[in-house]
């Protein structure tokens, strides 16, 4: 067991004298401001954790304030912001230019492609300078008789932050339930609107998760309540319209805090699924949506290491499972036989060389995605003839996924497609002929021409001989492949999350300035199947960091990037990647942006009161086990800060972040200031109103991008 000893000084936190600099006036010129404002130096107040016979000394623990009301902590963060603003002053014009540049490439008026659900076609639209979307429905596919059902702009008015979560229309189409977050803590309030009268009911479901499903009586709403301390959604309640929330019935409570809880509904609308999802296990319980008194039933026992989900078709279930199939397979069974694996019939067999991923079910067809050599390939299976066909696309690397497919009785599948040079494109694809009908391509305003850019797919050998896929993009007229182009490399590499090659209009601002942009599909993702993930977590986590570093070195050696102008960027668990990389190979990078970074691995994983901690044991390991403690300590960015030179760094966070608490990056920056031996720039920028996802609103978010890219471009151009 661990014990914690607090210094007597912890209750009287003071900042070092360097933090109490005079606030510069608005009339002071940039050079004077930079001279006046010095880096904040945080007071060192030892906080000792004793575990496994080792004393972990955290001198900056005092920066943690769960109430976010400590005057000392807020003052420190504001001093950091003031210092960052002063140091970033030379790129103020660049940031403004980037903001306008990116904003002016985005079409102000944008309408989504209507999708069918029941008797209506639903779509959303944003116009002019609106930050949020307005939602509509129509009886016709062309939207000719569209009626507004929800206006997020009106709901966001007067809010410094607004996050719209789930929107769920009742089965009879008369009501809509919606979840809203006005603090950026991912704690939602669920409300209900009458779509016939416009009335918003008095029902308020507080402290909820972003997950809502209706019972088929059109009066019952299933929602998830969050633990106010850990922020884990763990209780499923059934609310009946008109009753007080205190009267809601507890339908299910998750007793194992290593599981997340979600809600979903079967495509035929007959079942509400309570999804149980841990890092290495996944299953569900079923509620009869037609029974307002239903109790959850499990068709399969929940077992460690088994991950499955169900697709319902009549009296049969298609079972997506990793049972004796590390890369997953698809089985089929009658609803009465699901618990007997001996009665399962193979629909798509396990393939050790291709991970089975997304599956979409229709009455006559099944569409599935297999990841082959890192690329998600879409395939169509005719359930009557058992014929398999593969959808083909032109780009060497791309991202294709299914979207808006809510009807079982359809002869078309809707697919969202994009690459690093192709803007997001929506296709309706005939399931029999595979003929594609383009329904929409996201507009890029200005002089954008996809043919001006090129994307490449590489496989780079890491130090242990494993080949790591890399996707990169550049502007043809500015790329020389002689080691003179600045290069920005992005990575994530955790939770099995695969960052497919995607199009972002903001990336053009880099490419048009001669940058090469690369995505390293490092271990810890599932780019090369489930084993790729297993080889990048727990006691294999260092493979993630080694892959990233080795990719950088190889790209330089091959002439893709200038060795003096290499930059790296990652967020959340990708921020941990940034922290580990700069501890191991700080000399490689001229600048690094680490966003909402998970960097204090051991202290966070020892504290089960924090959001996500218990759910993360299967990802990182439990440091209460000495084997994992020792391994974590060997790479944890906060623990491994040492007296050495570090690259120029921008660290960004949100005060209300519910995923990675603001104090992790704040403590990390304080420790880096203490130890680093260089004069390079180190900045902490805290959004005092935002959380893990940054600012809300489509244009407000561009400010975050302009800050990140402005920092990197400013370094590359010698402005910082």
As annotated, the active-site residues are: 572, 657, 692
Sign of the dihedral defined by the CA atoms of residues 703, 706, 711, 712, in that order: positive
Beta carbons within 8 Å of 62's beta carbon, 6+ residues apart: 10, 13, 43, 45, 47, 72, 73
Q: Is 360 exposed, middle or buried (0-12, 13-18, 19+ CB in 10 A)?
A: buried
| Helices vs. strands in the chain: H and E counts, helices first | 13, 38
State which H helix or E strand residue 675 sits in: helix 663-675
* Cα–Cα distance for residue pair 238/251, rounded to 1 Å: 6
Q: How many residues comprise the chain?
A: 720
Report the alpha-carbon distance of residue 396 to residue 392 in Å, rounded. Answer: 11
The pair of structure tokens assigned to 248 is 């809601």
Nearest-Å Rg of the Cα atoms of the chain is 26
How far is it, in rounded angstroms, from Cα 260 to Cα 238? Answer: 18
CB contact at 8 A, 55 and 49 = yes
Q: Where are the beta strands (DSSP E) in 513-559?
A: 516-520
Q: Residue 472 and residue 466: Cα distance in Å, rounded? A: 19
Helix 92-103 × helix 700-716 angle, to 10°: 130
The token pair at 113 is 């492609």
Instruction: Look at strands 260-265 and 115-117 and give their pairing.
Output: unpaired
Q: How far is CA 108 from CA 111, 698, 700, in A?
A: 10, 10, 14
d(C-alpha 398, C-alpha 380), whole Å: 18
- Longest CA–CA span in the chain (Å) reads 78
Which residues does residue 483 pair with via DSSP β-bridges, in sequence order? none
Laid out side by side, the sheet with 271-277 consists of: 260-265, 271-277, 282-288
**H or E, element range at 700:** helix 700-716
State how far the Cα of 84 lies from the Cα of 652, in Å rounded to an integer.
Answer: 10
The answer to whether the CB of 284 falls within 8 A of the CB of 302 is no
Exposure of 687 by Cβ count < 10 A (0-12 exposed, 13-18 middle, 19+ buried)?
Answer: buried
């Amino acid at each position: 067991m661990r014990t914690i000893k607090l210094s007597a000084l912890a209750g009287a936190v003071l900042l070092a004298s360097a933090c109490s600099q005079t606030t510069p006036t608005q009339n002071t010129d940039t050079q004077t401001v930079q001279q006046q404002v010095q880096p904040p130096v945080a007071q060192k107040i030892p906080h000792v954790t004793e575990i496994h016979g080792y004393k972990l000394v955290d001198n900056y623990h005092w920066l943690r304030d769960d109430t976010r009301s400590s005057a000392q902590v807020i003052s420190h963060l504001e001093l950091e912001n003031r210092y960052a603003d002063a140091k970033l002053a030379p790129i103020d014009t660049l940031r403004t230019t980037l903001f306008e540049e990116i904003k002016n490439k985005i079409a102000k008026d944008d309408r989504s492609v209507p999708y069918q659900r029941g008797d209506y076609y639903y779509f959303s639209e944003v116009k002019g300078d609106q930050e949020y979307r307005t939602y509509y429905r129509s009886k016709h596919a062309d939207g000719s008789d569209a009626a507004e059902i929800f206006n997020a702009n009106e709901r966001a008015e007067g809010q410094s932050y607004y996050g719209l979560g789930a929107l769920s229309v009742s089965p009879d189409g008369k009501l809509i339930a919606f979840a809203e977050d006005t603090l950026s803590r991912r704690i939602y309030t669920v409300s209900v609107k009458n779509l016939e009268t416009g009335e918003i009911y008095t029902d308020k479901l507080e402290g909820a998760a972003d997950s809502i499903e209706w019972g088929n009586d059109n009066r019952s709403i299933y929602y998830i309540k969050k633990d106010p301390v850990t922020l884990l959604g763990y209780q499923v309640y059934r609310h009946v319209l008109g009753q007080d929330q205190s009267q809601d019935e507890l339908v299910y409570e998750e007793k194992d805090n290593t599981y997340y809880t979600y809600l979903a509904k079967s495509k035929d609308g007959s079942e509400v699924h309570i999804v149980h999802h841990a890092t290495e296990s996944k299953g569900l319980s079923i509620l009869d949506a037609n029974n307002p008194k239903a109790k959850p039933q499990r068709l399969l026992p929940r077992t460690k290491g088994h991950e499955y989900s169900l697709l319902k078709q009549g009296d049969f279930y298609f079972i997506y499972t990793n049972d004796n199939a590390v890369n997953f397979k698809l089985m089929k069974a009658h609803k009465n036989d699901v618990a007997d694996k001996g009665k399962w019939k193979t629909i798509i067999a396990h393939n050790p060389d291709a991970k089975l991923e997304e599956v979409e079910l229709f009455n006559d067809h099944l569409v599935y995605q297999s990841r082959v050599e890192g690329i998600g390939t879409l395939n169509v299976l005719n359930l009557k003839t058992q014929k398999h066909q593969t959808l083909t696309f032109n780009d060497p690397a791309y991202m294709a996924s299914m979207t808006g497919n809510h009807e079982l009785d359809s002869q078309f599948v809707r697919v969202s497609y994009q690459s690093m040079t192709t803007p997001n494109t929506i296709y309706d694809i005939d399931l029999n002929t595979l003929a594609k009908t383009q329904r929409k391509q996201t507009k890029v305003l200005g002089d954008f021409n996809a043919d001006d850019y090129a994307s490449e797919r590489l496989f780079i050998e890491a130090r242990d001989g494993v080949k790591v896929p890399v996707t990169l993009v550049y502007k043809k007229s500015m790329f020389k492949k002689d080691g003179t182009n600045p290069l920005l490399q992005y990575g994530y590499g955790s939770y099995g999350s695969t960052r497919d090659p995607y199009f972002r209009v903001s990336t053009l601002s880099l490419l048009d300035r001669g940058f090469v942009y690369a995505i390293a599909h490092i271990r810890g993702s599932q780019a090369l199947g489930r084993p790729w993930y297993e080889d990048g977590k727990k006691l294999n986590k260092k493979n993630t960091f080694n892959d990233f570093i080795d990719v950088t070195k190889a790209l330089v050696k091959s002439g893709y990037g200038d060795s003096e102008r290499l930059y790296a960027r990652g967020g959340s668990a990708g921020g941990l990647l940034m922290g580990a990389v700069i501890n191991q190979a700080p000399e490689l990078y001229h600048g690094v942006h680490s966003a909402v970074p998970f960097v204090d691995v051991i202290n966070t994983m020892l504290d089960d009161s924090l959001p996500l901690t218990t759910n993360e044991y299967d990802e990182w390991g439990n440091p209460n086990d000495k084997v994992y403690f020792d391994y974590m300590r060997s790479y944890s960015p906060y623990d491994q800060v040492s007296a050495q030179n570090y690259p120029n760094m921008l660290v960004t966070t949100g005060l209300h972040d519910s995923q990675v608490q603001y104090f992790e990056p704040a403590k990390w920056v304080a420790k880096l200031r203490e130890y680093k031996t260089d004069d390079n720039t180190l900045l902490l920028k805290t959004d005092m109103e935002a959380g893990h996802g940054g600012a809300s609103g489509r244009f407000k978010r561009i400010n975050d991008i302009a800050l990140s890219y402005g920092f990197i471009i400013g370094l590359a151009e010698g402005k910082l």
